[in-house]
């Protein structure tokens, strides 16, 4: 009886603790994307949004591709003018005053804020030895488990794979690339390990059936296990090997980082993933971060791990992405100054292309179907009926010239293809070039070399296709391929190697 009585207070404590947790931690909200978007519109007082243009040039509501109509707000926010009108004339003013101003405006109005209470990430690794092309590599499949003790209903496990050349004589520069993670294929034993496996299997077979000894004696070359025959990979559009092959052959490492394991690429997922975990399953508020900033956060946590890995030169880590992941790569570089370099592939609106431009993809494209990439506040600039009036891109306090400027003076490579091969007019290559040209001034102020242009962004002309401007810390190259940065990878590696003083070991 005493044992039963003593256990009653313990049971009551468990019941009360469970009830208290339930009250303080409601179940995660489950919205469709439309419901989540409507919730944010209600918070902002928005009754209606302007629809974004169609990417189909034959549709009645097709996007504008007339350059004469492309600049309804021709004057960009000046990265070297303070909010109070003072001019920035020294590097110290940039670092101490102007840069923090721009970061604050981007956080509040465009991409959202990373909360102060984002939980820690604990990494674990599974190690394998592989071959990529003709280069032996060490591959580590990484899982970053986010501490969810404050809200166990949501778990986040970041998946990434680190690959470094096995024969490197020291730490290697490394490029994080957004995309599906996993061991290289085929991931299988080779060399002495395969010989040992075959010997062990033959021994087991003979033990199972001693008659097989004669068979093996008559056919000594037969092996139970054989390596997958070597096959040449699908080459890049320019005929070069795939990007991972080029990187390890050049003495680099690379990381494949799966952004979907950080945050889903849809509005319905905003109450899950890292955003949902921090918000304890509840909908966002207007200044909360969107998926682009969350993916950038995931890249930063991956860099945290790389800083602990002795095979990686953590002072020379870069970030790479194409399309929506090109946007995320540029945002990663802009906000996290530990990154040494970035390759921004075909990023369009929300990335390197000017938001003010009326050419192809529009701000309304981002406030509509892709609203989950951005902070809730960004929707104001696509509002056609709201309590605060009508919003438009010209009201934005920042633009992508300043996003690129936040990367200065570090290595920043803006990459595009051509519309004829699939890198659509929708991306507004000209708008990205204009932004890059204007960011030149900040690179120069900080002692870095930018693009070789003397004109301002209103009049500067893009260089011809396949003519790279790669002589400074800010680089531009438009290749003759499609919606990919692969044809620019070899140029990026050569450009970065020169800056780092690195060569294949």
Look at residue 17 and tell me whether its pLDDT is greater than 50.
Answer: no
Q: Are 187 and 139 in contact (CB under 8 A)?
A: yes
pLDDT digits (tens, 9 = 90+) for 123-170: 999 999 998 988 999 999 999 999 999 999 999 999 999 999 999 999
Confidence (pLDDT) at 235: 75
Tokens in use for 311? 């095979």
Which band of pLDDT confidence, cut at 50, 70 and 90, is reported for residue 188? confident
Q: Which residues of 194-215 are buried (b: 16+ CB within 10 A; e: fewer)?
A: eeeebeeebeeeeeeeeeeeee
Q: Which one is predicted more confidently, 9 or 396?
A: 396
Lowest mean pLDDT among 103-112, 231-240, 342-351: 231-240
Confidence (pLDDT) at 436: 98
Confidence (pLDDT) at 23: 52
Which band of pLDDT confidence, cut at 50, 70 and 90, is reported for residue 230? low
pLDDT digits (tens, 9 = 90+) for 79-127: 999 999 999 999 999 999 999 999 999 999 999 999 999 999 999 999 9
**How far apart are alpha carbons 490 and 483 in whole angstroms?**
16
Q: Are 246 and 493 in contact (CB under 8 A)?
A: yes
Tokens in use for 325? 């992941």
Confidence (pLDDT) at 187: 67
Look at residue 281 and tell me whether its pLDDT is greater than 80.
Answer: yes
* Interstrand relation of 341-345 and 411-416 (parallel, antiparallel or unpaired): parallel
Which band of pLDDT confidence, cut at 50, 70 and 90, is reported for residue 5? very low
**Average pLDDT along the chain:** 93
DSSP SS3 for 39:
helix
**Widest Cα–Cα separation across the chain:** 92
The percentage of residues in the chain with a pLDDT greater than 90, rounded to a whole number, is 82
* Stretch 366-391: mean pLDDT: 97
**Domains of the chain: residue spans and CATH:** 67-72+79-184+232-499 (3.40.50.1820)
Q: Which one is predicted more confidently, 247 or 192?
A: 247
pLDDT digits (tens, 9 = 90+) for 464-501: 999 999 999 999 999 999 999 999 999 999 999 999 99
pLDDT digits (tens, 9 = 90+) for 39-66: 999 999 999 999 999 988 888 899 999 9
**Cα-atom radius of gyration of the chain, to the nearest Å?**
27
Nearest to 272 by CA among 367, 372, 176, 181: 372
**How far apart are alpha carbons 174 and 160 in whole angstroms?**
13
Which band of pLDDT confidence, cut at 50, 70 and 90, is reported for residue 189? confident
DSSP structure class, residue 134:
T
pLDDT digits (tens, 9 = 90+) for 248-280: 999 999 999 999 999 999 999 999 999 999 999
Q: Are 321 and 329 in contact (CB under 8 A)?
A: yes
* Stretch 379-400: mean pLDDT: 98
Look at residue 20 and tell me whether its pLDDT is greater than 50.
Answer: no
Which band of pLDDT confidence, cut at 50, 70 and 90, is reported for residue 196? confident
Which band of pLDDT confidence, cut at 50, 70 and 90, is reported for residue 12? very low
Q: Which one is predicted more confidently, 116 or 194?
A: 116
Look at residue 291 and tell me whether its pLDDT is greater than 80.
Answer: yes
Look at residue 19 and tell me whether its pLDDT is greater than 70.
Answer: no
């Amino acid at each position: 009886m005493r044992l039963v009585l003593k256990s009653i207070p313990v049971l009551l404590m468990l019941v009360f603790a469970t009830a208290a947790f339930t009250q303080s931690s409601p179940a995660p909200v489950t919205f469709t994307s439309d419901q989540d978007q409507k919730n944010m519109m209600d918070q902002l007082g928005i009754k209606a949004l302007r629809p974004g243009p169609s990417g189909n040039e034959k549709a009645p509501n097709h996007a504008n591709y007339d350059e004469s109509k492309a600049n309804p707000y021709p004057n960009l926010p000046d990265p070297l003018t303070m909010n109070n009108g003072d001019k920035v004339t020294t590097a110290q003013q940039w670092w101490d005053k102007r840069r923090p101003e721009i970061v604050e405006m981007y956080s509040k109005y465009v991409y959202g804020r990373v909360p102060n209470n984002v939980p820690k990430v604990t990494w674990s690794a599974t190690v394998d030895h592989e071959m990529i092309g003709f280069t032996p590599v060490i591959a580590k499949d990484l899982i970053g488990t986010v501490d969810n003790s404050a809200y166990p209903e949501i778990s986040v496990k970041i998946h990434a794979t680190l690959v470094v050349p096995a024969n490197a004589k020291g730490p290697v520069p490394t490029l994080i690339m957004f995309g599906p993670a996993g061991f290289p294929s085929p991931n299988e034993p080779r060399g002495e390990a395969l010989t040992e496996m075959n010997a062990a299997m033959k021994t087991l077979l003979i033990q199972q059936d001693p008659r097989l000894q004669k068979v093996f004696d008559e056919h000594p070359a037969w092996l139970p296990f054989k390596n997958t025959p070597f096959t040449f990979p699908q080459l890049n559009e320019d005929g070069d090997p795939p990007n991972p092959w080029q990187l390890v052959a050049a003495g680099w490492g690379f990381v494949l980082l799966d952004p979907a394991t950080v945050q889903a690429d849809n509005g319905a997922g905003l109450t899950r993933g890292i955003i949902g975990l921090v918000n304890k399953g509840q909908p966002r508020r207007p200044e909360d971060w969107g998926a682009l900033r969350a993916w950038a956060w995931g890249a930063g946590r991956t860099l945290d791990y790389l800083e602990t890995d002795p095979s990686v030169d953590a002072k020379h880590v870069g970030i790479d992405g194409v399309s929506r992941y090109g946007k995320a790569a540029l945002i990663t570089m802009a906000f996290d100054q530990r990154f040494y370099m970035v390759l921004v592939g075909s990023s369009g609106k929300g990335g390197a292309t000017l938001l003010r431009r009326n050419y192809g993809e529009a701000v309304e494209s981002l406030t509509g179907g892709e609203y989950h990439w951005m902070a809730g506040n960004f929707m104001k600039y696509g509002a056609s009926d709201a309590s605060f009036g009508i919003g438009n891109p010209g009201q934005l306090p920042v633009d992508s010239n300043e996003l690129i400027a936040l990367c200065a003076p570090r290595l920043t490579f803006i990459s595009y293809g051509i519309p004829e091969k699939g890198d659509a007019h929708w991306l507004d290559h000209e708008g990205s070039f204009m932004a890059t040209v204007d960011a030149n001034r900040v690179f120069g102020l900080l002692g870095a070399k930018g693009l070789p242009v003397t004109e301002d962004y209103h009049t500067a002309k893009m260089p011809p296709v396949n003519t790279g401007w790669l002589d400074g810390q800010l680089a531009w190259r438009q290749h003759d391929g499609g919606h990919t940065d692969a044809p620019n990878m070899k140029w990026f590696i050569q450009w970065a190697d020169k800056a780092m003083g690195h060569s294949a070991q």
